[in-house]
Each structure stands twice: as C-alpha cells, then as structure tokens.
Amino acid sequence: MRHIARKRFGQHFLTDTAIIDAIVDAIAPQAQQALVEIGPGLGALTLPLLARLPESSRPLTVVELDRDLAARMRQRAHITVVESDVLKVDFAALAAERGQKLRVVGNLPYNISSPILFHLLGCADQVQDQHFMLQKEVVDRMAAEPSTKDYGRLSVMLQWRYEVEHLFDVPPEAFDPPPRVDSAIVRMQPKREPPQLDLALLQELVATAFSQRRKLLRHTLGRWLEARAWGGSFDLQRRAEEVPVAEYVALAQSL
C-alpha cells in the first residue's frame, strides 16, 4: 500500500537516486560502526546504507514516529526500530547498548530540526559524527561565520561543540512531495577536546546576546552580566553577530 506523506510529521520523501548516492558516499559507512537513522521514511536512505554495511555492523537502528512506517521497517531484516518521538530518545543509552559511539544520519523533519540538533548536543560525546538533510537556510545558519547575516544563536551553540561543514545543496524536486524550500546536507563532527563549560549557562548567555540583534551588547548582555556581578573584561560595544564563537565560550568559562 502506498504511504501518503503526513504534514503533521513534516514528511518529504527523498526520491532522487543521484542525491541518495551522494549522501551515502558522504557518510561512507564502514565496518564496526553503529549507525542510527532519524526518520527513515520509506527507506530511501536506509536501504542503500544497509547495503554498504557488513554484517558485523548490523543491525542499523532507525528512529521513526509514524507507526505505519515503523511497521514497514520492522518487516525488513537487519533493522532495529525505535518507534518514538526523536526528542524522547536517549542516544547515550543507544551508544551504551551498542558499546561504541554512534554515527547519526537522517532527513530531519524541518519543523523540529533545531530542537533535534539541541537534543543531540547533550550527548555529543557519544557521537562519532552526524550527517543530516536540513532546510538550506538552517544549514547556512549552522555553518555561518561571524559578522554575516546568518550568524546567530544556532551558529554559536553548534560550532563550540562541532566542526560544521555544509556539503551540498538539494533542490525541492528531489523529494515527493517537494518542499517549498531548498535543502542541504551538513556534516557535524564533535570536537575531540571541546572546551569545558556549563552548557546551560552558555545557552542562556548566547540567547541573551542575540535577543536584540540590532542593539549593542551593552543593552542586553551587559545588563545580564551586571546582574551576575561579573567583574571581568568583555567588549560590549559590539553587536552579537560580531563576536566569534571562541569569545562567547571564553566568557562562559570565566563565569
């Protein structure tokens, strides 16, 4: 029976075989690796990945919320299905179960892509790398450099922990049904020796800094620092997008 894409799950199924091959080549699955796919859909990416995996690296784990699609996946060999909202999945527990770091892949639902990225941020030490299909606008923000229009909270919160690489773009016609936006593939590799800091504190700091992008930081972050009676030195005569990731990290560490 043909599956009809469900809007409430943000379903857009990848159908372009050339794009699928390019994604699988970028992921380059190897023996003795634990792959987890978020939102396998009809298996457009799942099956080519599985074909590349030797038996020693099976099963491939998929996370699927749609019960009909989950049922379809259970009928296939060498696939373990986690039927759940991805935001409720304990990826650290999956890594412990497999006894190794995870390689996480997926065509993420565009309506909740940022929450998924932040959910995975909390277990980055249990991840080898991540390859995702996302809205191109989101990937542009993830990989943005300081002093550009795309640089913002998402850029800082991901780049302090990952090396973020925009691999290539994917047009709407590569999907069924086609989305109304361009898409892109991004690679995220957790840094081997990330800065030691309080993640919740960095999140609050960065959210405050970017809360009013057009104002100088003395109006936003400056007041936040004053409330904490912070006595250090930080140039507040800049706008939030002018501050490099490393300076936000250093400020969070000093606090």
**CATH number of 148's domain:** 3.40.50.150
Ligand-binding annotation for 111, yes or no, is no
Report the share of the chain in percent with pLDDT over 70: 95
- Indicate whether 250 and 211 sit together in one domain: yes
Whether the pLDDT of residue 7 is over 80: the answer is: no
**Whether residue 9 has pLDDT greater than 60:** no
CATH code, domain carrying 240: 1.10.8.100
Per the model's pLDDT, the better-predicted residue between 12 and 139 turns out to be 139
Residue 1 within any structural domain of the chain = no
Tell me: pLDDT of 190 over 60: yes
One domain for residues 250 and 139: no
Annotated binding-site residue? 165: no
For the chain, what is the mean pLDDT?
92
Of residues 54 and 237, the one with the higher pLDDT is: 237
Whether 245 contacts 147, CB under 8 Å: no
Check the annotation: does 167 bind a ligand.
no
pLDDT the model gives residue 2 = 46
Same domain assignment for residues 94 and 48: yes
Q: Is 119 annotated as a binding residue?
A: no
The reported pLDDT for the residue numbered 11 is 57
Residues 128, 165: one domain?
yes
Looking at the structure, tell me whether residues 184 and 123 fall in a common domain. yes
pLDDT the model gives residue 23: 96
Range picked from 58-62, 105-109, 158-162 for highest mean pLDDT = 158-162
173 marked as part of a ligand binding site: no
Residues 83-123 have pLDDT tens digits of 999 999 999 999 999 999 999 999 988 889 999 999 999 99
Print the domain residue range for 84.
7-190
pLDDT at 208 over 70: yes
Question: In which band, very low, low, confident or very high, does the pLDDT at 1 lie, cut at 50, 70 and 90?
Answer: very low
Indicate if 108 and 210 belong to the same structural domain: no
Tell me what pLDDT residue 6 has: 44
Asked if residue 185 and residue 209 are part of one domain, the reply reads no
Mean pLDDT of all residues in 171-188: 91
Are 46 and 128 within one domain? yes
- Was 64 annotated as part of a binding site? yes
Q: Which backbone phi and psi does 95 adopt, to 5 degrees?
A: -65, -40
Both 186 and 94 in a single domain? yes
